[in-house]
Amino acid sequence: MTLRAIHWTGNTLELLDQTRLPHEEAWIRCNRAENVATAIVDMKVRGAPAIAISAAYAVALEAIQHRHLSVAAMREALMQTIERMCQTRPTAVNLFAAMRTMSDVVQSEVTDADDLLQRVVSTAERLAQEDVKTNRAIGRHGAELFLGPVQVLTHCNTGSLATVEYGTALGVIRALADQGRLTHVYVDETRPYLQGARLTAYELSHEGIPHTLITDSMAAHMMKQGKVDAVIVGADRIAANGDTANKIGTYGLAVLAKHHQIPFYVAAPLSTFDMKTLSGEQIPIEERRGEEVTELGGVRIAPVTTRAAHPAFDVTPHELITAIITEVGVIHRPTEHSVRETWMKAGDTV
Ligand code: MRU
């Protein structure tokens, strides 16, 4: 059965608590937007597309709560919800794209509060359905890049748990596996939150895809040993020139891949592109609590007086990216020109 971490019942949102995986499949039942906001901040739901879709459903939850209000009062409440959701996590731009879509719907002409409620709910549902279609298209385009059986390395979690279903970088890996063209996946544990060890390994085990877990510091060695034919990662925000923000550690992998002459691919939907941000330097990088580094599973691993830094993302310059795989095709050797060309050709669909 396909793994899903977001379940909309029609009037509640159920989120699989990703902080409890792989030990326990616990679900969080959300009736209010604030439940969803807390789940996003606490990384119970995470991954750029999954954050965006959960936030869209959070607006739907508030529309249900406020359905007895006047249209004007309901609009005001929903705009406040959108603002709140935008404050949850700063780097993944999909959240802001989804909130822009929801804001347009909230402000559109409606006949009454019930009409507004229906529109908000159906827009959240549409965004969720589109995410699945988008990921499958990314998987198809990505798999076409590889001729023979490949061994790949991936970082963080970009699969069903990070999206609505299927995944971006993990979608490409899944498509390759479906076509019998994947030999092996090396999974970076992804310190400090261990999305690789806890979530990607869980998804690959669930799918029966052969994989080996490595610590982030083993990647160079694996590459040198000829065990990696390609690196495939996801993205949280891609600037107009192709510079890509993704989970901390991604930049280091791109540098290593260049040194070992291994192609480095980014798989992401068009909703991850931020055409108003001209280069990676302008991408806001989320700083999380140092305790997420000094503690492991709640147990202190560093001296109590030691403080830790925790930038949650880094930026890979476009020069290090072999190609960006999107739902509308592949951008080879991304530059400001080629990114803009793809964006224009796709039309303003996001
Ligand atoms: O902090 P996280 O777990 O939300 O970070 C997730 C990532 O960096 C993913 O690679 C990215 O969101 C792409 S998910 C399809």
User: What are the residue ranges spanned by the domains of the chain?
Assistant: 6-136, 139-349
According to CATH, the superfamily of the domain at 139-349 is Translation initiation factor eif-2b; domain 2 (3.40.50.10470)
Q: Mean of the pLDDT values across residues 65-87?
A: 97
- Give the distance (Å) from ligand 1 centre to CA of residue 115: 34
- Active-site residues, by number, are 236
Res 242 pLDDT > 50: yes
pLDDT at 154: 98
Expressed in angstroms and rounded, the spacing between residue 305 Cα and the centre of ligand 1 is 30
Percent of the residues in the chain that have a pLDDT greater than 70, as a whole number: 99
Task: Dump pLDDT digits (tens) for 172-214.
Answer: 999 999 999 999 999 999 999 999 999 999 999 999 999 999 9
Instruction: Report helix, strand or coil for 140.
Output: helix
Confidence check: pLDDT of 40 > 50: yes
Give the mutation target among 91, 158, 238 for probing the ligand 1 site: most ligand atoms within 8 A of CB: 158
Given a contact cutoff of 8 angstroms between Cβ atoms, the answer to whether 15 and 39 are in contact is yes
Q: What is the pLDDT of residues 90-107, one digit of tens each?
A: 999 999 999 999 999 999
Number of H helices and E strands in the chain, helices first, is: 12, 16
Task: Answer whether 274 contacts ligand 1 (Cβ < 6 A).
Answer: no
Going by alpha carbons, the residue nearest to atom 8 of ligand 1 is: 247
pLDDT at 227 over 80: yes
pLDDT band at 297 (very low <50, low <70, confident <90, very high): confident
Sign of CA dihedral 58, 59, 60, 65: positive
Per CATH, the number for 6-136 is 1.20.120.420
Mean pLDDT, rounded, of the chain: 97
- Token pair belonging to 307: 């403080």
pLDDT at 349 over 90: no
Distance, in Å, from the CA atom of 330 to the CA atom of 346, rounded to the nearest integer, reads 12
Is residue 236 in contact with ligand 1, taking CB distance under 6 Å? yes
Question: Which of 132, 138, 195 is the pocket-test mutation for ligand 1 (most atoms within 8 Å of CB)?
Answer: 195
Q: How confident is the model at residue 51 (pLDDT cuts 50, 70, 90)?
A: very high
Residue that has been written with the tokens 């989970």 in this structure: 247
d(CA 150, CA 137) in angstroms, rounded, equals: 20
Residue 50 C-alpha to ligand 1 middle, in angstroms?
9
- For 333, list phi and psi in degrees, rounded to 5: 45, 65
Instruction: Give the pLDDT of residue 350.
Output: 44
Q: How high is the pLDDT of residue 348?
A: 52
Q: How far is CA 267 from the centre of its chain?
A: 10
Mean pLDDT of 14-31: 97
